Amino acid sequence: MNEPHDVDIGIWANTVHAAVTAIRTAGATTQMILLPGNNFTSAGQFVSNGSGGALLNVTNPDGSTTGLIMDVHKYLDVDNSGEHAECTTDNISDAFAIVAAFLRENGRQAMVSETGAGSTSSVGCSPPYKETALTLSSASQTSAPKILSSTRTQTYSSATLLGQQALFQPCMF
């Protein structure tokens, strides 16, 4: 279930729910399952295109949402493709802040599973990124959401949870 696009979000959410039920019923009861949204699961459109709202209805067979993590992607280049060397945005105000607010309002979490930045110093970005870390830390594990992301330049994977209290902190290592 990676990067669905041009789908009816209601039908997609029902499909994701069926997949979660099958995975949990097969015995994977403690593993994290990522729930991607429409339009390549872009963080910039996750709330506005209805993905977040539709995926709120996805639950485990017991009705809980434990281990069900919404999945978002976001790149720092001009067209969100990750294919351009110039970094043009930090995506905080137009993407991550919106998603984090949605998650807080709904007591849910998300993972930024794909992200990347170019290797140039550009508007909206710090000087050359060898690694980028976005952290949204929490004072309490009980008041979702929570973000932690670590991504190498031009390597499009991360370990990020969106949530808890809001302080994005771009870092260079």
User: pLDDT at position 167, please?
Assistant: 32
Q: What is the pLDDT of residue 14?
A: 97
Q: Look up residue 38 and give its DSSP letter.
A: T
47 occurs within a structural domain: yes
Q: Is the pLDDT of residue 61 over 60?
A: yes
- pLDDT (tens digit per residue) in 65-91: 999 999 998 888 888 877 877 777 778
Predicted confidence (pLDDT) per residue in 3-43, tens digit: 889 999 999 999 999 999 999 999 999 999 999 999 988 98
Domain count, the chain: 1
- Asked, for residue 117, whether it belongs to a domain, the answer is yes
From 83, 105, 114, 131, the catalytic residue: 114
| 1 falls within a domain | no
Structural domain contains residue 150? yes
**Torsion region of 93: left, alpha or beta (phi above 0 gives left; psi -120 to 50 gives alpha):** alpha
pLDDT tens for 146-161 read: 343 433 333 323 333 4
pLDDT of the residue at 99: 94
pLDDT tens-place string over residues 109-148:
999 888 876 666 655 565 443 333 333 333 233 443 334 3
Q: What is the DSSP letter of 172?
A: E
| Residue 105 falls in the annotated catalytic set | no
Is the pTM above the cut of 0.75? no
The CATH number of the domain holding residue 136 is 3.20.20.80
Distance of alpha carbon 69 from alpha carbon 106, whole angstroms = 12
Residue 96 lies inside a defined structural domain of this protein: yes
Q: What is the mean pLDDT of the chain?
A: 74
114 is catalytic: yes
> Does residue 3 fall inside a structural domain?
no
Beta bridge partners of 68: 33
Residue 21, classed as helix, strand or coil, is: helix
Residue that is written with structure tokens 């990124």 in the block: 129
Question: Nearest CA to 21 among 71, 58, 67, 66?
Answer: 58
For every residue of 53-108, DSSP letters joined together read: HHHTT---TTS--TTEEEEEEEESSTTSSS--SS-----IIIIIHHHHHHHHHHT-
List the domain range (segments joined by +) for residue 40. Answer: 9-23+31-172
Q: What pLDDT does 125 receive? A: 60
